[in-house]
Amino acid sequence: MGFEDILKRHFDKVVKEVDFVKSTYNEMKKYGFTDQNSIAAVCVCRDEISQSLRSLIKYTWGEAFNFSSLAGMFTAGKTGLVAAMHHAPKLDGRERYVYFVIPHTAIDGNGRAGFCKRKGIEESSACGALCLFLKELNEGKLHISIDEEDIEESLMKRRLLSEIPYGYIPELIELTKITRGVIQSDLERVLNKVVDTTKSDYALITGIQIHSPDGNYIWPSECYAVVNGMKQEVSLGE
C-alpha cells in the first residue's frame, strides 16, 4: 500500500496545508474574525518542517503569537496565554483571538508512519519527540522524572502518559491524535479561566499536520468559534 492508502486509513479527510489555512480565514471571517481585528496564536511542534504552517498562518492572519514547544504541547500556560490576549487588537470594543493547535506526523512513500525526508536527509522521523517517547514505551524503559536538561520532553511524556491506559502502547498516529486532544484540553482549561467572553471572541482551530512525499497535508479536527459567549462548531477544509 502506498502513502495515499495509509493516509486514508488513518485520516478520514485531509486537505493541502495551504488550502487548510485559506479555509480557516474564509470560514472564520463569517464569524467576524479577520487579520485586521484578530490576533492568531499557534501551538505547533518546534520542528523546522512544521514551520511552513506558521508561515502560512503569518501570511494569512499576520504575525502569530508562538506557543510552540516540543510535539506542540501547550506549556506556555497562563502567562503565555494572557500575554497573547493582551496583544490583541482593541477595535469596536471587542478583542478577538484565533488559536491553532496542530501537532504533526509523517507518512513516507512506502506508507510508513513517522518517516519523512528532510533537506539533505533521505530518512528522518516526525514527530521526533513523540517517536522518542514511543521508543521508551516499547523498550519498557520510560524515564518520567523531570530532567532539568530536557524539560519539554519530560513534561510531554508525563502529560501524555496520564492519557494512555496503563500498559497500552499506541501506534504513532494514534499517539499523535491523543496528543492533539491533550493540547486542545490543556489550552481550553486555561482559556476558560482567563477569557472574558463578554468582551472577547475566540476561535479554536485544531488538526494534525502530515508530512508526505506530496507535501504537507492537514487533517482538520475539532474547530469552533465562541462569539458573544456562544459556541458554534465550524467545518474546515471544504
Whole-angstrom distance, CA of residue 158 vs CA of residue 8: 31
Select 95 or 153, whichever has its Cβ closest to Zn ion. 153
- Residues 6 or more apart in contact with residue 69 via CB below 8 angstroms: 46, 75, 76, 152, 156
Count of Cβ atoms closer than 10 Å to residue 9 Cβ: 13
Minimum CB–partner distance for residue 197 and Zn ion (Å): 32
Select 51 or 197, whichever has its Cβ closest to Zn ion. 51
Minimum CB–partner distance for residue 166 and Zn ion (Å): 25
Q: List the one residue out of 228, 223, 222 whose CA is nearest residue 95.
A: 228
**Chain residues in the site for Zn ion (CB under 5 A):** 45, 47, 127
Select 45 or 88, whichever has its Cβ closest to Zn ion. 45
Minimum CB–partner distance for residue 127 and Zn ion (Å): 3
Select 55 or 232, whichever has its Cβ closest to Zn ion. 55
Minimum CB–partner distance for residue 101 and Zn ion (Å): 14
**Burial class (CB within 10 angstroms; exposed 0-12, middle 13-18, buried 19+) of 190:** middle
Are 210 and 176 in contact, with CB atoms under 8 Å apart? no
